[in-house]
């Protein structure tokens, strides 16, 4: 049992630390807002007449308008916030989501460049979809895990609860369903199954159907449907998290996949690997079907390439294996396909594209446009003929020398740093170095004792690193990760750049706050946080005092071991909790897994006090 004899002094430290935290990160968030010198293109969109390409410049705070025939920049429309997605309203107007914690939905008049806000207060809004038939708009309120249904004027009609972090959505051509992809799995990490999900929303009733993807599916990035509305395709990482991280060969740790969904039948057809036996296809992102329906194209953000897949051949193979017929040496039944690195052999071409950060893509005619996030350009690939090839590129601005932070961010997302390009750092730490929700059995603290992935936010400011503190600091952890997770030897400059990127990360304000402020419950919870002893360990501006404690959460061989006190900053974003992800919620941490009050004095708290404490912690 911990002692709390220094409580009055700790209360003073707590309040001072809170003031420092609010002041420091409030300024940091303000400084990060606005346009940067880099464009960071994503979220490509083509006009209905295919004459105009729209590009969201996600750190340039602008919408680039490009002529598809000349491949030249027509104009750039300035936006009040950095854009996160776009959809076509009509021949002259776009719907654009923008901003982060106080996100907005914008209406953009392309001809006049007039921009007006039709809704605000969403938390990291993404994936706008326009439903002309019902005169509705659908927007993913990402960190509130919901789809917001609005009128065309922005008036909120309904909120539809979905799974964790909806990040991409597409409506079927007949307007019957919305297919929603979610970045992260939702639930505890210490069981036999954990995967992100796809949700189908019936747009008449707004009822939902949740589809489970194969075990380990995470980092879902994009979704598209074919012209018939029969099949949807979702890109994602397929993690082999139940294996110890002893090697990378043949996709031992992470593989990269596209899942095929039969939308009318509301079922997963199968999941197909995009990797080859000795060459990964890391971090699949954008996905699209060409106008004729013959090719499925996937952008690979980690390997700077696109996959061009013969769609008829793909579905023939899937139908054959579903019927129990042998397709490859591995796949003679459907359940083997997600483990078959040769399933696409002969039916897919990999096309290298110059630049770095191949994220979004869109197809018009026989041309694929690919957004190269880190090199601020659009690459164009010609699909005509039997051998697709890159035929040009458009720089979106002047060449700007990369800052150390930007270079480190690029390295963090670049699988060329990894043996056989199976994964990048972002494969396990997606969304700016945060979490994948999974447990991994790294060998730095033994074997057979998996740990939940930690957010890298504030990792350099809160040593030591790792749950058991086995790395003295984050600098040591970065270098060990390159050697023992990427299985590579890299120049010191690469690791130093990644350090600079991670140090530059800033927390996002919690969606549990109201207009940026603590709710009444959270204000009461702040008092409970102090009086229950939470501040004994979670003190100071980073809500950790940097020591390790045995709070009774160690199991088996780790029983009695001391665990590093994690920061609580942005803890609302990092579920599940505890070192092995056994706690689905903060309440579970405080009550269910708090034996003998070793993790704070909560056993005598009323239900209301527990709820208030949870509200406060989730507001940090």
Residue 225 lies in a domain: no
What does the pLDDT read at residue 36?
81
Position 27 pLDDT exceeds 90: no
For residue 20, pLDDT over 80 is answered with no
161, 185, 215 — which closes off a domain?
161
At 71, list the tokens: 């491949």
pLDDT at residue 344, as a whole number? 98
Res. 23: pLDDT tops 70: no
Secondary structure E strands in 375-455: 377-382, 389-395, 439-440, 451-452
Domain span including residue 597 = 1-32+509-620
Dump the DSSP string for 232-244. Answer: EEEEEEEE-TTSB
pLDDT, tens digit (0-9, with 9 covering 90-100), for 36-63: 899 999 999 999 999 999 999 999 999 9
Mean pLDDT of 491-514: 97
| Per-residue pLDDT, 187 | 95
Q: 20 and 66: one domain?
A: no
Domain for residue 79, yes or no?
Answer: yes
Cα separation, 376 vs 353, whole angstroms: 13
User: How does pLDDT run across 325-383, given as a tens digit for each residue?
Assistant: 999 999 999 999 999 999 999 999 999 999 999 999 999 999 999 999 999 999 999 99
Whether residue 84 is contained in a domain is answered as yes
One domain for residues 54 and 157: yes
Q: How far apart are CA 22 and CA 151, in angstroms?
A: 36
Asked if residue 580 and residue 604 are part of one domain, the reply reads: yes
Residue 106 has pLDDT above 90, yes or no: yes
In Å, what is the CA distance from 234 to each residue of 140, 198, 220, 288, 393? 16, 9, 7, 10, 26
Question: Are 608 and 535 in a shared domain?
Answer: yes
161: left (phi over 0), alpha (psi -120 to 50) or beta: beta
The dihedrals phi and psi of 40, each to the nearest 5 degrees, come to: 55, 65
Alpha helix positions (H), 129-208: none
Structure tokens at 371: 């957004």
DSSP 8-state code for residue 31: H
* DSSP 8-state symbol, 360: E
Q: Is 599 found in the same domain as 515? A: yes
13 has a pLDDT exceeding 80: no
Q: Do 131 and 48 belong together in one domain?
A: yes
Q: Which two tokens stand for residue 186?
A: 């939702």
pLDDT value of position 2 = 39
Within a domain: 437: no
The DSSP result for 579-612, as a single string, is TTS-BSSHHIIIIIT-GGGBTBS-TT--HHHHHH
Which comes out higher in pLDDT, residue 13 or 329?
A: 329
CB 380 within 8 A of CB 71: yes
In a shared domain, residues 47 and 86: yes
Query: Could you read off the pLDDT of 428-479 as tens digits, one per residue?
Result: 999 999 999 999 999 999 999 999 999 999 999 999 999 999 999 999 999 9
Mean pLDDT of 503-524: 96
**Nearby residues of 348 by Cβ (< 8 Å), 6 or more positions away:** 274, 307, 308, 309, 310
Q: In this structure, are 51 and 5 located in the same domain?
A: no
Task: Report pLDDT for 21.
Answer: 52
CA 283 centroid distance within chain: 11
Instruction: Report the mean per-residue pLDDT for the chain.
Output: 94
Residue 122 and residue 52 in one domain: yes
- Angle, to 10 degrees, between the axis of helix 520-531 and the axis of helix 7-32? 140
Residues 42, 157, single domain; the answer is yes
pLDDT band at 399 (very low <50, low <70, confident <90, very high): confident
C-alpha span between 466 and 440 (Å, rounded): 12
Residues 590 and 519 in one domain: yes
Strands (E), 20-171: 41-46, 52-57, 62-67, 72-78, 83-88, 93-98, 103-109, 115-122, 125-131, 136-141, 146-151, 156-161, 166-171
Report the distance separating Cα 442 and Cα 502, nearest Å: 21
* Cα-Cα end-to-end distance for the chain: 26
Measured torsion, CA atoms of residues 471, 472, 476, 481, in degrees rounded to the nearest 10:
10
Domains in the chain, number: 2
In a domain, 486, yes or no: no
Sorted by sequence, the CB contacts under 8 Å of residue 542 that are 6+ apart come out as: 21, 458, 461, 462, 567, 569
The last residue of one of the domains, among 161, 188, 209, is 161
Any domain includes 94: yes
pLDDT at 7: 44
Q: What is the CATH number of the domain that holds 513?
A: 1.10.760.10
Q: The CATH number of the domain where 74 resides is what?
A: 2.130.10.10
Q: Is there a contact between 189 and 583 (Cβ–Cβ < 8 Å)?
A: no
Q: Taking a C-beta distance cutoff of 8 angstroms, is the pair 362, 46 a contact? A: yes
Q: What is the pLDDT of residue 473?
A: 97
Give the distance, in angstroms, between the CA of residue 172 and the centroid of all CA atoms in the same chain: 23
In a domain, 537, yes or no: yes
- Model confidence at 32, in pLDDT bands (50, 70, 90)? very low
Indicate whether 16 pLDDT > 70: no
CA atoms lying within 13 Å on the CB side of residue 270: 24
Are 23 and 138 part of one and the same domain? no
214 found inside a domain: no
The predicted pLDDT at position 556 comes to 92
Tokens (6 digits) for 203: 């747009």
Contact between 457 and 433 under an 8 Å Cβ cutoff? The reply is yes
The pLDDT > 90 percentage for the chain reads 93
Considering Cα of 324, then 325, then 328, then 332, what sign does the dihedral take?
positive
Final residue before a domain boundary, out of 161, 180, 202: 161
Q: pLDDT tens digits for 195-206? A: 999 999 999 999
């Amino acid at each position: 049992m911990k002692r709390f004899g220094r409580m009055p002094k700790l209360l003073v430290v707590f309040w001072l630390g809170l003031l420092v935290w609010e002041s420091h990160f409030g300024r940091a968030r303000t400084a990060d807002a606005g346009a940067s010198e880099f464009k960071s293109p994503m979220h490509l969109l083509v006009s209905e007449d295919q004459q105009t390409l729209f590009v969201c410049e996600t750190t340039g705070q602008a919408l680039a308008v490009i002529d598809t025939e000349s491949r030249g920049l027509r104009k750039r429309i300035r936006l009040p916030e950095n854009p996160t997605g776009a959809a076509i309203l009509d021949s002259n107007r776009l719907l654009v989501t923008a901003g982060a914690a106080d996100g907005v939905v914008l209406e953009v008049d392309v001809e006049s460049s007039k921009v007006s806000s039709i809704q605000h207060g969403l938390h990291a809004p993404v994936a706008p979809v326009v439903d002309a038939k019902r005169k509705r708009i659908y927007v993913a309120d990402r960190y509130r895990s919901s789809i917001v249904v609005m009128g065309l004027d922005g008036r909120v009609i309904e909120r539809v609860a979905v799974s964790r972090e909806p990040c991409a959505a597409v409506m079927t051509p007949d307007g019957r369903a919305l297919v929603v992809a979610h970045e992260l799995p939702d639930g505890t990490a210490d069981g036999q199954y954990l995967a992100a999900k796809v949700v189908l929303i019936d747009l008449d009733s707004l009822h939902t159907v949740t589809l489970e993807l194969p075990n380990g599916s995470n980092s879902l990035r994009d979704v598209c449907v074919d012209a018939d509305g029969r099949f949807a395709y979702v890109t994602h990482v397929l993690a082999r998290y139940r294996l110890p991280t002893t090697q990378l060969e043949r996709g031992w740790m992470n593989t990269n996949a596209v899942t095929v969904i039969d939308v009318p039948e509301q079922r997963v057809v199968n999941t197909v690997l995009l990797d080859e036996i000795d060459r990964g296809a890391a971090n699949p992102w954008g996905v699209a079907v060409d106008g004729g329906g013959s090719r499925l194209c996937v952008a690979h953000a980690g390997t700077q390439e696109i996959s061009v897949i013969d769609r008829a051949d793909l579905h023939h193979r899937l139908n054959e294996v579903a019927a129990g017929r042998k397709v490859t040496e591995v796949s003679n039944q459907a359940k083997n396909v997600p483990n078959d690195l040769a399933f696409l052999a002969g039916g897919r071409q990999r096309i290298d594209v110059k630049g770095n950060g191949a994220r979004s893509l869109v197809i018009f005619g026989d041309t694929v446009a690919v957004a190269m996030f880190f090199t601020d350009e659009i690459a164009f690939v010609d699909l005509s003929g039997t051998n697709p090839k890159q035929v040009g590129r458009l720089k979106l601005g002047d060449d700007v020398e990369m800052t150390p932070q930007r270079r480190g961010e690029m390295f963090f997302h670049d699988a060329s740093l990894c043996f056989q390009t199976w994964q990048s750092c972002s494969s396990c730490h997606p969304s700016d170095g945060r979490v994948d929700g999974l447990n991994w059995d790294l060998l730095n603290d033994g074997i057979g004792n998996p740990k939940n992935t930690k957010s890298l936010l504030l990792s350099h400011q809160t040593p030591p690193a790792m749950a058991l503190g086995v790395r003295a600091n984050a600098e040591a952890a970065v270098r060990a990760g390159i050697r023992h997770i990427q299985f590579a030897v890299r120049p010191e400059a690469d690791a130093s750049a990644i350090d600079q990127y991670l140090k530059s990360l800033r927390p996002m304000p919690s969606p549990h706050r109201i207009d940026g402020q603590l709710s009444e419950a959270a204000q009461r919870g702040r008092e409970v946080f102090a009086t229950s002893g939470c501040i004994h360990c979670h003190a100071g501006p980073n809500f950790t005092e940097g020591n390790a404690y045995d709070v009774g959460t160690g199991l088996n061989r780790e029983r009695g071991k001391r665990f590093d006190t994690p920061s609580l900053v942005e803890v609302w974003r990092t579920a599940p909790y505890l070192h092995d992800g056994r706690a689905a919620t903060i309440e579970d941490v405080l009550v269910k897994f708090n034996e003998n009050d070793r993790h704070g004095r909560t056993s005598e708290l009323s239900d209301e006090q527990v709820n208030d404490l949870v509200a406060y912690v989730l507001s940090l």
